């Protein structure tokens, strides 16, 4: 009898109370893990969006400094020089230095709005106009109603126009406007200074 009781005691399972408590703990832990996983997903999405936005901001800064040093057409250069100001496209040559192409004579920059993306292509050129290296940057994704405007300040009253026809001079201001949700697009204005 004694050995039978021992066997019965050693095979005893969990009590109902222990089972309920363990289930409640399991539920709490599962809820906590699900919450932590959700927060982790949000953190990942937000970090990725912020990273893209930071890249756009860096490209925006690069465009600002390049456009500020855009070459007027009357400047005599060895390499081909051009300035194109269109409603959806801007192209210019800049003397802005870049550490990534130390042998380049200048940078040829094209800003283009296509498929609701505002992109910038930079080409490092030598004295003959040959391309030494090129880079593509995104200024803004999913941006709508983009408009390029060029300010002619040579007359009595300043005049904004969607096409630049004042060659060989450069426009007094170049403005890029657009519409976007989050992160929003803020109007971009630069005065070429050369």
Partner 1 sequence: MNRRSGYSIIEVLIAFAVMSMTLAVLLPGQTRLLGRAGTAAERALAHDYALSRLDMVGVLGAETPPPSTGTWRVSEDVSEGPAHRAVTVSVRSASGRLLAEVTRTYGITDAE
Query: Is there binding between residue 43 and partner 1 (CB under 8 A)?
Result: yes
62: helix, strand or coil: helix
132 near partner 1, rule: CB under 8 A:
no
Task: Report the distance separating Cα 111 and Cα 148, nearest Å.
Answer: 10
183 lines the binding site for partner 1 (CB under 8 A) = yes
The token pair at 20 is 């309920």
Residue 48, interface with partner 1 (CB under 8 A)? no
Nearest to 115 by CA among 140, 152, 98: 140
Q: What angle do CA 137, 160, 74 make, to 5 degrees?
A: 70
The reply to whether 25 sits near partner 1 by the rule CB under 8 A is yes
Residue 110, helix vs strand vs coil:
strand
Q: Rule CB under 8 A: is residue 186 a binding residue for partner 1?
A: yes
Contact residues toward partner 1 (CB under 8 A) are 6, 9-10, 18, 21, 25, 28-29, 32, 36, 39, 43, 46-47, 50, 53-54, 57, 60-61, 64, 151, 153, 158, 172-173, 175, 177, 183-184, 186-191
């Amino acid at each position: 009898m004694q050995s039978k009781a021992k066997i019965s005691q050693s095979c005893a399972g969990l009590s109902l109370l222990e089972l309920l408590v363990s289930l409640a703990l399991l539920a709490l832990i599962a809820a906590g893990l699900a919450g932590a996983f959700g927060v982790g997903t949000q953190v990942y999405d937000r970090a990725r969006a912020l990273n893209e936005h930071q890249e756009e901001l860096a490209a925006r800064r690069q465009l600002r400094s390049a456009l500020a040093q855009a070459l007027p057409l009357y400047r005599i250069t060895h390499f081909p020089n051009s300035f194109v100001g269109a409603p959806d496209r801007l192209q210019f040559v800049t003397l802005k230095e870049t550490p990534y192409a130390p042998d380049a004579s200048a940078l040829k920059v094209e800003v283009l709005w296509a498929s609701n993306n505002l992109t910038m292509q930079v080409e490092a050129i030598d004295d003959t106009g040959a391309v030494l290296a090129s880079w593509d940057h995104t200024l803004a994704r999913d941006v709508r109603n983009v408009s390029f405007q060029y300010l002619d300040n040579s007359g009595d009253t300043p005049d904004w126009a969607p096409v630049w026809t004042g060659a060989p001079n450069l426009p007094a201001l170049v403005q890029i406007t657009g519409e976007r949700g989050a992160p929003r697009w803020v109007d971009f204005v630069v005065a070429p200074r050369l």
